[in-house]
Amino acid sequence: MNYLAHCFLAQANSESMVGNLLGDFAKGLDESTLSEKTYLGLMNHREVDRFTDANPQVLAAKRYFSGQRRRFAGIALDVLFDHFLIKNWHLYSDIAFPEFKRDTYQLIEQGQYLMPYPMQQVMRSVVKNDWFASYETIEGIGFALDRIAMRIRFSNKFSGSIEDIEQHYPALETAFRQFFPQLLSFNQTRLSNNASIIR
pLDDT tens digits for range 152-175: 555 555 567 788 899 999 999 999
Helices (H), the chain: 3-8, 14-21, 36-54, 56-61, 73-87, 89-92, 97-110, 117-128, 131-134, 138-151, 162-167, 169-192
CB distance 101 to 129 below 8 Å: no
Q: Where are the domains of the chain?
A: 3-196
Tell me which residue of 144, 174, 171 sits closest to 65, measured CA to CA: 171
Does this model's pTM top 0.75? My answer is: yes
Q: What is the mean pLDDT of residues 81-102?
A: 97
